[in-house]
């Protein structure tokens, strides 16, 4: 009986390890391959580890592939869009959580309903609309429209509803105005939710492909995912450069994931939403 239990425990371990490998190996393989020279990359049969460890792919990708520019673009778009997302979601979350006003519930349902209009669905009219606004081929066109996210507003509203009303009343009695209550009381008390949204927004925007794909046409304004996808579309894929640039592009998300792992698990089980 006891030996059977040990066996089951051992089997479970084996399964866990196999599962972990299946999910982790593909990206690891990309990273390993990125350090291989051209001749080793296409070795048949392949060798797992590089014999001659080289950074050539990274150098050529950044230099000839114009990727330095794309990384700068991506960083710019990601950071500005995240800042805007955090500010407007915190404001809207507060408006919906702590005030009673005519039209509040209808507006809130309306905001949540925008989840149904994901970009995949309204891609074509979105293009026409952005063209009408003169936002095609501009950074504003990929920074502003996705900055308002129902998920973010929902997250902040849920969090702020747990802040006791008595605190706000007390601040009002002390003579604080709406602006002061918001910046001195609500924002500091919402730091956990704000951090969660910041991290999520950063990853969403860094990974974003569809918006730049639709809006950006000018090579100099491409973001990293757009440039990578374009790389694949070429007749002869330069795999060495591609794998190296792919490796570089996952570093920011990897760092964020390692530091904030718990936020992701929590954030997802809190909202169950994405995008």
Q: How far is CA 126 from CA 141, 197, 214, in A?
A: 11, 25, 9
54-83 residues near another protein, rule: CB under 8 A: none
Applying CB under 8 A, among 178, 183, 251, 259 the residue interacting with another protein is 178
Residue 47: which H helix or E strand, with range?
Answer: none
Q: Which range touches another protein (CB under 8 A), out of 50-58, 59-67, 188-196, 207-215?
A: 207-215
179-198 residues near another protein, rule: CB under 8 A: 182
171: contact with another protein by CB under 8 A: no
C-beta of 72 vs 229, nearer to another protein? 229
> Residue 51 contacts by C-beta under 8 Å, 6 or more apart in sequence?
40
Helix, strand, coil share (%) of the chain residues, nearest 5: 80, 0, 20
1: contact with another protein by CB under 8 A: no
16-45 residues near another protein, rule: CB under 8 A: 16-17, 19-20, 22-24, 26-27, 29-30, 33, 41-45
C-beta of 79 vs 250, nearer to another protein? 250
**Which is it for the CA torsion 161, 166, 169, 174, positive or negative?**
negative
Does residue 221 contact residue 140 with C-beta atoms inside 8 Å? no
Q: Which range touches another protein (CB under 8 A), out of 60-68, 75-83, 111-119, 162-170?
A: 111-119
Does residue 57 contact residue 244 with C-beta atoms inside 8 Å? yes
Q: Which range touches another protein (CB under 8 A), out of 49-57, 63-71, 100-108, 164-172?
A: 100-108
Of residues 47, 39, 62, the one with CA closest to residue 244: 62
């Amino acid at each position: 009986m006891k030996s059977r239990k040990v066996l089951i425990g051992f089997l479970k371990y084996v399964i866990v390890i196999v599962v972990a490998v299946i999910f982790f190996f593909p990206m690891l393989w990309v990273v390993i391959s990125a350090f291989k020279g051209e001749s080793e990359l296409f070795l048949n049969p392949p060798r797992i580890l590089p014999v001659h460890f080289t950074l050539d792919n990274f150098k050529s990708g950044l230099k000839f592939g114009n990727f330095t520019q794309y990384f700068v673009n991506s960083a710019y778009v990601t950071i500005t869009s995240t800042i805007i997302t955090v500010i407007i979601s915190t404001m809207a979350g507060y408006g919906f959580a702590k005030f009673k006003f005519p039209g509040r519930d209808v507006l809130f349902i309306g905001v949540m309903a925008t989840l149904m209009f994901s970009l995949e669905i309204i891609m074509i009219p979105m293009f026409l609309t952005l063209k009408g606004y003169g936002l095609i081929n501009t950074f504003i066109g990929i920074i502003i429209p996705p900055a308002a996210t129902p998920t973010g507003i929902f997250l902040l509203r849920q969090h702020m509803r747990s802040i006791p009303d008595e605190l706000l009343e007390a601040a009002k009695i002390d003579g604080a105005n709406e602006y002061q209550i918001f910046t001195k009381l609500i924002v500091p008390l919402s730091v956990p939710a704000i951090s969660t949204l910041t991290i999520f927004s950063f990853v969403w925007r860094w990974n974003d492909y569809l918006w730049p794909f639709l809006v950006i046409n000018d090579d100099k304004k491409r973001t990293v995912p757009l440039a990578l996808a374009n790389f694949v579309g070429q007749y002869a894929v330069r795999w060495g450069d591609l794998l190296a640039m792919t490796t570089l592009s996952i570093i920011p998300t990897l760092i964020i994931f390692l530091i904030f792992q718990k936020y992701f698990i929590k954030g997802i089980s809190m909202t169950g939403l994405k995008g």
